[in-house]
Amino acid sequence: MHTTVDALLPLSFLEAVRSVDSPDDDLDAELVPELRNKRLGLSDTVYAQIQRFTDAAKKHQRTEYEETVGIAKLLGRRPDAEAVFRAAGRYLAAQTYQSIPSASRGLIASLPSLLARPIALRQTQRIAGKYLNGSVRRHGSFLILEVPRSATVDVSPRGVGCAYYESFFRELLRLLGASGGSVDHVRCAARGEGTCEWRAEWRSIHRDETADNAGAA
Ligand SMILES: [Zn+2]
């Protein structure tokens, strides 16, 4: 099946590699020429790829699924793969959060939870569809993110790549003001369960119940 993904996905992998491999302090910075040879994230190849996918993301061009999986595999082979995938997930969340119109972001931040939640849910669903080829649905007091064709599920042993979507989901909910609960990987294609699903508690946005009641009164 011919599939494409949003250019933000490969971009998030590469940005995470660059960020994790960047020197932490001045002492490290002095060693950069030597580090360059050792650290993928500081290489000219990664830099050139970041430019390419940044341009593609700006133009809303999509990338081949297979190419994206190939980049994810480079991350999956690293001993720090899980940390890199988590960083990539946070990057993707931050970028896709910016795709929410500022008026909607303002409403989500300022309206009482009861009114803010449906707006936040619609935006979360839009983002999951557009950027992850996935979907988000409510299930009682939980939100379920489903990704039928994960770009990271087979790139590392023991499902380490799945941390990418988990980290994305947690961070997006945090940015929407609905964070705090755990995010559980309740279904996994790597375990032969068909698709990957993550379940997050759908908490109040910004206000506790008392504030909600006051807002409704
Ligand atoms: Zn999975």
pLDDT tens-digit map of 24-74:
765 555 555 665 556 777 788 889 999 999 999 999 899 999 999 999 999
> How many beta carbons lie within 10 A of that of residue 59, not counting itself?
9
How many whole angstroms separate alpha carbon 138 and alpha carbon 217?
A: 26
pLDDT for 97 equals 97
- pTM equals 0.87
What is the Å distance from ligand 1's center to 195 Cα? 7
pLDDT for 37 equals 57
pLDDT for 118 equals 92
- Give how far Cα 198 sits from Cα of 37, 68, 153, 167, Å: 38, 21, 13, 10
What is the Å distance from ligand 1's center to 97 Cα? 23
Residue type, 177: G
In this structure, whether the domain defined by 4-216 belongs to CATH 3.30.420 is answered with no
What is the Å distance from ligand 1's center to 190 Cα? 6
Domain coordinates in residue numbering, the chain: 4-216
pLDDT for 217 equals 35
What is the Å distance from ligand 1's center to 68 Cα? 17
pLDDT for 212 equals 45
pLDDT for 106 equals 95
What is the Å distance from ligand 1's center to 132 Cα? 14
Query: Low-confidence residues of the chain, pLDDT below 50?
Result: 209-217
What is the Å distance from ligand 1's center to 142 Cα? 18
What is the Å distance from ligand 1's center to 197 Cα? 7
pLDDT for 44 equals 84
What is the Å distance from ligand 1's center to 199 Cα? 12
What is the Å distance from ligand 1's center to 39 Cα? 28
pLDDT for 151 equals 94
